[in-house]
Amino acid sequence: MTLPDDRLARLLLIQGDGPSQLEDDLLRLDVLARRVPRTLSANVVYQCGLSDGREAFHKPHEGMRDHPLLGEPVWKYYDQLSATATGINECAAWRLARAMGSPWDTLVPTAVMRWLAPGAGLVGGWGPLIRKGNGPSGEPTPFNVQALCSPAAFFDSLIGQQDRHRGNQRYEAATARLTLIDHGFAFPGGRWRFKESAFLQQRHDDGASALTSDEVALLDDLPSRSVWQELELMLMGEQMQALEWRRIAMHSAGQLLPAGKEGLGEP
């Protein structure tokens, strides 16, 4: 097993610290089977059967593919520094959502960093192991339900989500549960806004871009929470600076960041 880099090693020390039983389960349960799901992805993804009957997805860093049009790793297109960074981002998104509390702690799937052995036809190594969200992807319902769309848009604005197209969510109608998936291309460095964030665009289109009093209070309080120190250990310096920039920009304006903007922006 190859030793992880410093940021990955710090994450391994942070995760599995008790508040989430599922987080502990994802770290400890045996993975009994791995198969490639039917949906295509920017990197190799395995649907994993766990020893308690639940399922999760493993995204090995060594399985990151090249962009089909640009001929370079997909992580470069989304302004990330490496394939490993995308895995750390998945775990960072979960830890931030967990610390933010309801409803974000159920909107964002539990994710841990885990090493799985390679096998016959299987890419192994380090990568995030992520709770499977129930329901199909691409359902339009969550975009029309304010209680689902609004917190999803707020979260995407805060983390600088670069790849929240309408398919990057799962919705289970029977439970009315929304799961936001694929956070590998979040937390960009610099004053990046968005390549694509469908929930953020929807909230702007609905004329609901103003922050609620609870959202303002949360932005004000986040730096005092332990998760902020955790993120400083996990993310690159420029990623953390950009996260702080987005937090301040939203708090100062009392608004979500503009949707559909690429590149640098002014606070």
d(CA 146, CA 155): 14
C-alpha torsion sign, points 244, 12, 151, 138: positive
Residues listed for the chain: 267
In which element (H, E) is residue 98 found?
helix 83-100
User: Can you give the pLDDT at residue 3?
Assistant: 54
Task: Name 47's Cβ contacts closer than 8 Å, sequence gap at least 6.
Answer: 34, 35, 36, 37, 55, 56, 57, 132
d(CA 155, CA 145): 16
**43 exposure class (CB count in 10 Å sphere: 0-12, 13-18, 19+):** buried
Which segments of the chain are extended strands (E)?
31-35, 46-50, 55-58, 111-116, 125-131, 169-172, 177-180
19's tokens: 């508040």
Find the mean pLDDT for residues 216-239. Answer: 96
The single-letter code of the amino acid at 87 is G
Q: pTM to 2 decimals?
A: 0.93
Domain boundaries, the chain: 6-253
User: Can you give the pLDDT at residue 262?
Assistant: 59
Which residue would you say has higher pLDDT here, 76 or 2? Answer: 76
The single-letter code of the amino acid at 232 is E
Q: Is the pLDDT of residue 267 over 50?
A: no
Task: Name 228's Cβ contacts closer than 8 Å, sequence gap at least 6.
Answer: 222
pLDDT in tens, 67-123: 777 678 888 877 788 889 999 999 999 999 999 999 999 999 999 999 999 988 899
